[in-house]
């Protein structure tokens, strides 16, 4: 995608990367696991990867680092997802248009309908973190093959 991006779209690509976890990320991953019950899949992810930034896929897809997720919780508190089994969650990612991805304490991933969490409405997008990652993978593949936005 990056190799032919400028030729296809007429401008250079952004910083598309999947950053590997460093020592600070590993510490934050352990703290994340303490804060978020039932987050085994996300913990495994955060032990391997620091963050994902794909600004050129559709509007963009971003999976925030465990440090960023925890910082947001300390600054703003937990997200409230009214229809979830346990309505507490953490913002774990976003798209380039301001839509937020929130993991509830049961591991389900939800997408906000607006760019704000104040009285936000959510749609369930994945039953667990591996399914969420698969949706991102499929979105990238679809974008590369067709130039159309993905599945999230």
- Domains recognised in the chain with CATH numbers: 5-146 (3.40.1580.10)
pLDDT tens figures, 123-141: 999 999 999 999 999 998 8
> Could you tell me the pTM of the whole model?
0.88
d(CA 90, CA 39): 11
Q: Find the angle CA(119)-CA(28)-CA(108) to the nearest 5 degrees.
A: 40
pLDDT tens figures, 37-49: 667 888 899 999 9
pLDDT tens figures, 50-99: 999 998 888 899 999 999 999 999 999 999 998 888 888 999 999 988 89
d(CA 29, CA 35): 10
Reference 58, options 133, 130, 135, 149; nearest CA is 149
In degrees and rounded to multiples of 5, residue 34 shows phi and psi of -70, -35
d(CA 73, CA 78): 6
């Amino acid at each position: 995608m990056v190799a032919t991006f400028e030729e296809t779209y007429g401008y250079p690509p952004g910083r598309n990367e999947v950053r590997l976890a460093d020592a600070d990320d590993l510490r934050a991953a352990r703290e994340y696991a303490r804060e978020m019950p039932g987050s085994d899949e996300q913990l495994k992810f955060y032990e391997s990867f620091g963050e994902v930034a794909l600004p050129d896929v559709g509007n963009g897809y971003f999976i925030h680092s465990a440090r960023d997720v925890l910082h947001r919780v300390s600054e703003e508190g937990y997200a409230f997802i009214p229809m979830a089994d346990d309505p507490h969650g953490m913002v774990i990612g976003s798209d380039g248009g301001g839509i937020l991805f929130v993991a509830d304490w049961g591991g389900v991933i939800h997408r906000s309908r607006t760019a704000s969490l104040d009285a936000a409405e959510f749609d369930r997008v994945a039953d667990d973190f591996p399914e969420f990652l698969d949706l991102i993978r499929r979105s990238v593949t679809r974008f590369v093959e067709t130039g159309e936005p993905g599945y999230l």
